[in-house]
Chains A and B, each alone.
Chain A
Amino acid sequence: MEALEEREEVEETAEDAMSLNSSDFLDELSKAVEETSVTSAEYDFDWSSIDTSHLPSSYKTNSRQEKELLQLADHFFQQYSHLCPDRKPLFIHPLNECGVQKFVSTTVKPTLLPFPDLYYWSGCASFVCDYLIMEPLKCPITPPSSLYSPTTILKYQRGNCFDFAVLLCSLLTGAGYDAYCVHGYATLEMCSLDQTHELCPLLRKPPEVPEEEDPNKYRIKYPLDPQSKFELQQKAKKEEETESAQEEEREEEVVMEVGMPKQDPLHGLRVHAWVLVLPGKRKVTEAFFINPFTGNHHSTTDECFLGIESIWNHRNYWVNMQDCRKGCKDLSFDLSDSICWEIMFPKSNEISQSPTESPNKDTDDMKEKGEIDMNFEMPLSWVTQIRISRREYENPFSQGKKVILYDKAKLEKWAAYTNEDGLVERLTVYADSDCTEELEVKEWFKHREDLLYMREVNKQTQLTTDHFRRGHPLLLKAHSYTSLEPETGHTVEFYHTARADGLWKRSENAAEMTEYFVGREDFLHTRHIEFGERDKEMENAGITADANPRPIVQIKEHFHRNPEKPADEDIEERIFMVIDDTIQLTYHLELHDIIASKVVFCRVVGREKREDEIFLSRENTVKYEPWSSEKHKNMLYLYDLLWELRAEQKKLKHHVRASEAEMLNILMVREDEEANVKLSASMYSCAKRGQRQEATVGKLH
C-alpha cells in the first residue's frame, strides 16, 4: 500500500485525529481503503468495454515530439523522486483510453464552444457538473492510473474528478481564462460529492446590509432606566450557572458533531482534482478554485482543500514545493516563483505568465517564437476537437434529471421542455435531516406561455404563491392562494406600471378586500372594503354568486399627504359606512400637530332618506372638531362636500363590484391556464421547434 510510504505524514494527521498507536491505525487505514474501494464498485461503469477502435491515430500512438516529451517527463519524474523521496509520485504521464502513455498537459484541449453561457466560468462549471456523472476514484488515496481524453468523457457522460477537471480546464482556457488543473487533496465531502452537510445555495440568505448609522450629531440621550445592582448580580450569577451547564452540554454536542468529520481515517489523504483560476485574464481579480463536481466557486483559503501536489494546463506543468500541512490557506500562486513552484519547462513558463491582455501583443508573440525555438516546444494536444451539439447542450442530464441532496433540502433539475408543464427545477425543503417532513416546495418553470416562472408551496399552510414574469395579459406579478375557488383568500400582485389605476396588490377573502395603490394622482394608497353576509334566502333559492353580490358594509380609503393642500384640508382617511349611512373624514396633520381634525356626516334621524336631497343641520347630522379649519364650519362648504361624497360613494360601489368581477376573471383565467399548460418555443431554436412539432403531430395521431 502506498499509504505505508507516507508514514510520517499519516502520523501527523493521526495524532490530532485520534490517539491510536500507529500499527493499529495502519491496520484500520488499510481496511478503510479496502472498504471504500469495495463500496465504490457498484458505481462502476465498465470502462474496459468501451469501443476505442474508431478513435483517431493520435489517440493510439505517440508522435516524435510526444515521445521526446515523454522522455523529458520521465526524466523529470525520476529527478523529482530522487530529490524528494518522501513525496508521492507525480501524476504526470498516465495512460489514455487506448493504453498509450500521454503527458497530462497534452490532454488539455482549449476549446471555445458556440454557446454564450460557456464564455463565462460559471456557465462552463455548471455545464460540466450537470453533463457528467461523477464516479469516485478507484482508490481514494492515489491518483488514477489512466486519464482519458475529454472527448471520450463527453461521449460517455461520466468520469472521475480528474476527468471533470481536465474537461473544465479545457473549456476555461478556451474561453480565455488563466486556468489550471490541480492534483491535490480534499475532504471526504468534496471528493465524494456529498453536499448533505451544506446549506443549499438557493436557500442562502443574502448578507444583511448593516444599516448606515445616522451621522447627525443632534440626538437625544435617554437616561438608562434605573436598575438594581443587586438584581443584576443575581441575574448574572444565574446566567453563569445555566451557561456553564449549557456549555457542558454543548461540549458534548461538539464532540458528537466534530466526531463525524474526524471519523474519516483518510482525512488529508483523499486525492481530488479541481481547477484553479488565476487573476490577470478575463477581468479575474483574485485567484479562486472551482470544484468541478459542484461547479461552485471556492476561495483559495477554503478549508475543504487540504493540499496541492501539482498543477498543469496545456502549456506547462508545475509541482508545488510549499508546505501543505495547514491546507491551502497560505499557498502562494505566483507560478514564476521557483522556490514555491518547480517548473517543468522553465522558459515557456515566463510566456504563460506574461499577460496576453497587454496591448503589445505582437511583441509577445515574437518573444514566444524566439524563445520556443531555443527550448522544448509543447506539442499540440492529441485530443481531437471537443464538440457538443446544441441538443446535448440543452439536455445536459444524462438520466433526464439530476438530484442533489443538501442539508435538509433536495434539489431536482430537468432540462427545459422535458416536463409537460415546463418544470425545470424543484427545491424541496425538509424540517429534518432525514428528509421525511416537507416544509416548503419551490418550483421553477421555463418557457411557459402564461409566464409563470416560479411556484412556492408552503406545505404547512398549503399556501401556494405563483410568480409571473412581466407580460401576462392580466398583468399578474404574483398570486397566492390555497385553492382556486373564489372568495377563499387570494392575494394578487400586479405589474402596476401597466395599470391605469396604479393597483399593485389586492387581497381578498370572504369578509373583506384590500387594495393597495401606488403613484396615484389623488394620493390614494389603500382601500379597504368590508362585506356582509350574503342574503340567505337568495342563496337558498339557487341564485349564483354573480347575481347575489355580497352587501358592502364599509369602504375605507387612505390617502398620502398632498403637499399642495394645507394639512387640515387634506383628507387622510375616508370611511363610508354604507349600511349606517355615515361618512367620516379624518384629515392629515401638520408635523407639529398631534390631534387630527375630523368631519362626520351622520344619518339623519327621523327623516326619510331621499337620494336627491340633502338635509344638513348643525345639531345632529354633521360633527366637526372645534379646531377644524374655518371651512369645515361653513355649512355651504359642507353641503357641497356632502354632495361630492355621495357621488363618490356611488362610484366606489361600482368600483368594488368591478374589482370583484376582476378577481373572478383572474381565477377563471388561471384555472384555465393551469388546466392546459402551453410551452412556447423560441423562434431561434430550430431543433427545439421541430421537436415540438413532431411531438404535437405524434399526439394528434
Chain B
Amino acid sequence: MSQFLNNIEPNIIDDEMVQKAIEEKCPEDLGDLARRESTNWKFVTELQLSFKSILQIDNLWPLENLTKLQLDNNVIEKIEGLQSLVHLVWLDLSFNSIEVIEGLDTLVKLQDLSLYSNRISKIEHMDTLQELQIFSIGKNNLTILEDVVYLRRLKSLRTLNLSGNPFCNEEHYTLFVVAFLPSLVYLDFKLVRDSTRKAAALKYQDLTKPLEQEEAQVLALQETEEAKQKELEYHQTAFVEYLNGSLLFDSLYEEDREAAKLASLPGVEDLLQAYKKEFVSVCENLYNYGLEEYEKREAEVSKFYKRVHEILAVNQEESKRIISDFESRNQRRLDELYQAGSGNLAESERAQGKENIRQLWDALMTLEALVSNDLEELLQDFKRSIDVIASTFTENIQGMFNQCRDLENEHHEKLMRIVIATQEKLDLDPFDESLPDDVQRLFEDKNTIVNIINTSHSIRLRKIDKRESDMLCNIYQWQISETEKAFQTESDRNRACIGKILCFINTLQKELDNTMILKPRE
C-alpha cells in the first residue's frame, strides 16, 4: 500500500471528479443531450469514487439526495464532510487509513456501513446510527474485546464482521460476541447457530444478566419520563400545564421564607390548609375546563377542515371531468391537424382548437372562482366560531382566576388579623416564650411584620396574574394563528390553482402551435 501511495499523488474530491463519476454511471443509450442534462446533482442517488487516491473527502454537500456512496480503496485518513448527506443508506469506507470513527452522527438512515481494513482501534461515536443493520469493521486494530459491548445499543444490527482484528485470536472470541449481541444473525460471514447462541448465553450469563437488568431499568425510566413528557405536552396544548394538583399553589409559597415562619403561629397552619384546599379545587376546575375546551376547539377545527376537504374533493372531481372531456376532443383534433397539414381545412381546425382552449380556460376559471367564493364564506363562518370560542374561554378563565384572587385576599385578611392579634399579645407580654426565636424576631416591630405580609401577598397576587395572562395570551395566539393559517392556505391554494390553470392553457396553446410548425417542415 505504501508503494502505491508513493507513486500516485493524493487527491481531494472536487467537482470535476464528482462530475466524471456521475457521467460514468449514465447509460450508454441515453442521448448525448439528455446525458448532459441528467447530471443535475440534486437527483444523483449513487456515487462511486473507488481507487481515486482520495486523501480528503470534500465537496460532496451538493449531492443532498445521495443514498449510496462508495469511497473504498483510497487513502482517506479522516471521516469528514459527510454531515449533509443525511439520506445515505449505504456508506463504504473500506480499504482506507481511517483511525477514528467520527463524523457519522447525522447519518441516521445509514443501514450498511463498511470500515473494513482501516486503522481503527476503538468502536465509538455510533449512538445515533439506530438503523444500522450491517456493520463491517474487520481487519482493523481493535484489541479490547469488551469494546464490542458498545454495539448493544444498535438495536437493528444483524450482521457484523470483526474478523482480522487482534482480539479475534482471544479464546472464546465468538462466544463472547454472540453472548453480548444475541440479535446477531451473521457474524464474520457465518450464520450464528441457535446452539452457539445458547452456549454463549450460558457461558456469560453472569456478565450479561446484570447488564440486561440495568438496560431494562434505564428503558423503564425512559418510558415513564416520556409518558410524563407526553402528558405535559398535551396539557400545554390545552394551556393547562401544572394546573392539576397543587403545583400552582406551591409555586405561590415557593421562596417565601417569612410565610413559612409565620406558619408556626397558632391557627395559621389550619388557615393555610383550608386556603390550599379551596385554591386547589379552583385550580382543578380550571384544569378540567381547559381540557374540555381544548377538545371543543379541536372538534371545531376538524369539522371545518372536513367540510373544506369535501368541497375541494368535489371541485377536483369536476375539474378532472372537464379536463378529460377536453383532452379526448383535443387529441382527436391534433391528430386530424397532423393529417390535414396546411390548407383551409387545417386553418379552420386550428381556429376551432383555439376556441376550445378558450372555452376550457373559461370553464376552469369559473369553477375556481366558485370554489374560492364558497371557501371564503366558509372561512368567515370559521372565523366567527373561533372568535366565539376564544372569547367564552377568556371570560370563564378570568372568572376562575378572580375566584383565586378572592381566596388569596380573604386569606390575607385572616392572616393579618391573626398577626395583629399576636402582635398585641406580644406587646402585652414581651417575654412570651411560646414562640420560636426567629418568629419572635419578626414581631419586633409592627410595621415590619405588616410590610412583610403585604409584600408576600402582592407577590402571590402577581403570580396568579402571571398565570392568568399566560393562559389568555395562549388562547389569543391560538385564535390568531388558527384563523390566519386557514386564510393563508386558502389564498395559497387559490393562487397556485390559477397559476396552474394559466400554465396548462399555455402548454395547450403551444402544443397547438407546434403542430403548425412541425407539419410544414416535413
Contacts and interface: CB of A to CB of B under 8 A. Distances in A.
A422 B33 CA distance: 72
Interface in A153-182: none
Contact of A626 (B29, B42, B312, B507): B507
Interface stretch (B50-58, B250-258, B269-277, B315-323): B315-323
A639 B304 contact: no
A369 to B, nearest CB: 61
Contacts of B378: 218, 220
B443 to A, nearest CB: 64
Interface in A623-674: 625-627, 630-631, 634-637, 639
Contact of A592 (B323, B374, B493): B493
A618 B503 CA distance: 19
B263 interface: no
A366 interface: no
Contacts of A591: 309, 312-313, 316
B27 interface: yes
Contact of A630 (B29, B43, B374): B43
Contacts of A339: none
Contact of A594 (B304, B381, B500): B500
Contacts of A626: 503, 506-507
A218 B31 contact: no
Contacts of B364: 594
Interface in A597-625: 613-618, 625
A634 B27 contact: no
A218 B307 CA distance: 6
B496 A614 contact: no
B382 A589 contact: no
Contacts of B312: 591-592
Nearest to A631: B43
B37 A216 contact: no
B306 interface: yes
Given A216-B306, A218-B303, A595 B31 contact: no
A594 B316 contact: yes
A638 B311 CA distance: 35
Contact of A616 (B30, B40, B304, B319): B30
Nearest to A625: B507
A548 B452 CA distance: 106
A701 interface: no
B30 A618 contact: no
Contact of B504 (A217, A595, A639): A595
Contacts of A639: 27, 30, 34, 38
B125 interface: no
B340 interface: no
Contact of A595 (B29, B489, B501): B501
B48 to A, nearest CB: 15
A617 B377 CA distance: 48
B37 to A, nearest CB: 5
B219 interface: no
Nearest to B327: A598
Contacts of B313: 591
B311 A220 contact: yes
Contacts of A594: 315-316, 319-320, 323, 364, 367-368, 497, 500-501
A596 B319 CA distance: 10
A699 interface: no
Contacts of B319: 594-595
A219 interface: yes
Nearest to B492: A592
B477 to A, nearest CB: 23
A44 interface: no
Contacts of A225: none
Contacts of A637: 43
Given A217-B303, A220-B378, A595 B33 contact: no
B503 A615 contact: no
A616 B303 contact: no
Contacts of A24: none
Given A616-B30, A616-B34, A635-B37, A627 B377 contact: no
Interface string A496-522: 000000000000000000000000000
Contacts of A595: 319, 323, 500-501, 504
Interface string A572-596: 0000000000000000010111111
B374 A627 contact: no
A636 B26 CA distance: 7
A625 B508 CA distance: 10
Interface string A400-437: 00000000000000000000000000000000000000
B377 A220 contact: yes
Nearest to A634: B43
Interface string A346-382: 0000000000000000000000000000000000000
Interface in B146-166: none
Contact of A216 (B40, B303, B500, B506): B303
B401 to A, nearest CB: 31
B33 A617 contact: yes
B35 interface: yes
Contact of A618 (B33, B315, B367, B385): B33
Contacts of B382: 218
A16 B315 CA distance: 62
Contacts of B306: 216, 218
Interface in B175-202: none
Contact of B43 (A613, A614, A616, A636): A636
Contact of A615 (B31, B309, B385, B497): B31
Interface in B227-242: none
Contacts of B304: 218
Contacts of B33: 617-618
A614 B506 CA distance: 30
Contacts of A635: 30-31, 34-35, 37-38
Interface string B5-33: 00000000000000000000011011101
The CB with the most chain B CB atoms within 10 A, among A615, A616, A635, A639, is that of A635
Contacts of B31: 615-617, 635
Interface string A208-245: 00000000111110000000000000000000000000
24 contacts: A217-B381, A218-B307, A591-B316, A592-B489, A592-B497, A593-B316, A593-B496, A594-B316, A594-B319, A594-B501, A595-B500, A613-B29, A615-B31, A616-B30, A616-B34, A617-B33, A625-B503, A634-B37, A634-B40, A635-B34, A635-B38, A636-B43, A637-B43, A639-B27
Interface of B: 26-27, 29-31, 33-35, 37-38, 40, 42-43, 303-304, 306-309, 311-313, 315-316, 319-320, 323, 364, 367-368, 374, 377-378, 381-382, 385, 489, 493, 496-497, 500-501, 503-504, 506-507
> Which 8 pairs from chain A and chain B are nearest by CB?
A635-B34, A636-B38, A594-B319, A218-B307, A635-B38, A592-B493, A617-B31, A634-B43
Given A591-B313, A617-B31, 14 more contacts: A216-B307, A591-B316, A594-B315, A594-B367, A595-B323, A595-B501, A614-B30, A631-B43, A634-B37, A634-B40, A635-B34, A635-B38, A636-B30, A639-B30
